[in-house]
Amino acid sequence: MRNMRELGNYMERRYNVPFAEGMEKMDFEAVMGMMVQAEKVLHDFPALQDQVKGMSSARMGEGAYASADLNGRICMNPERIPDRAALMRDYARDVAHGYHPRGSDGSHLLVHELGHQMEAALVNRRYGSGTYAANRAWRKCTVSGEIVAEAMTRLDANWRSHGKETVGRISQVSGYARRNPSETLAECMVDVYANGRRASPLSKAVFSITKERLGGIR
């Protein structure tokens, strides 16, 4: 692809993921690099093609690179991603501080957001799209919490929900993974796609359970 329009047409045709007009504000090289990694996830989890409704760009607070919502929208922040070099530099700094999984880089940013969309797909499947129950489960990290707890139990049958072991296993993924179960799930996806067999045991367990629940992986 030579420009954002061609990339957007390809993503909509191949994966049913349209680009909003605002995507033209994003740096093409930065987005292209992220889409290379995102395409692997969309290929592996076909159910996301029904969940993800599109990509857009907008300024957002708290210095966020991007965001994902329950309704299938993924939004990128052009101020935090002014170009590919800046994205790779800033993300590498985050990795160096343990904030994101070792071995990952800025191109894995959308893998994280697609991890959130995996959770959203499971929430909508269980509670129904647009329902109060779905919105509540999304805010409370109900489904991601179940997945992380099941992963912990698979790794240790005697696991309990509180304690140093829980914090330790999550910290092996990344610092940001400790924020809440939803971020744990999303960061585990980054870990697996960045590191494969070298990903943390928790990341591999979370990936397997999510695959089992979401289904359809090729």
pLDDT, mean of each 10-residue run, the chain (218 residues): 95 96 94 97 94 95 90 96 97 97 98 98 97 98 97 84 78 97 98 98 97 80
The CA-CA-CA angle for residues 109, 43, 65, to 5°, reads 10
CA 141, 120, 67, 144 dihedral sign is positive
- Amino acid 161: pLDDT: 62
- Amino acid 171: pLDDT: 95
d(C-alpha 11, C-alpha 14), whole Å: 5
- Amino acid 158: pLDDT: 73
- Amino acid 202: pLDDT: 97
- Amino acid 61: pLDDT: 74
- Amino acid 217: pLDDT: 59
User: In this structure, how many other beta carbons lie within 10 angstroms of the beta carbon of residue 14?
Assistant: 12
Contact at 8 Å (CB) between 143 and 137?
A: yes
Q: Which residue has the tokens 């992986």?
A: 217
- Amino acid 149: pLDDT: 94
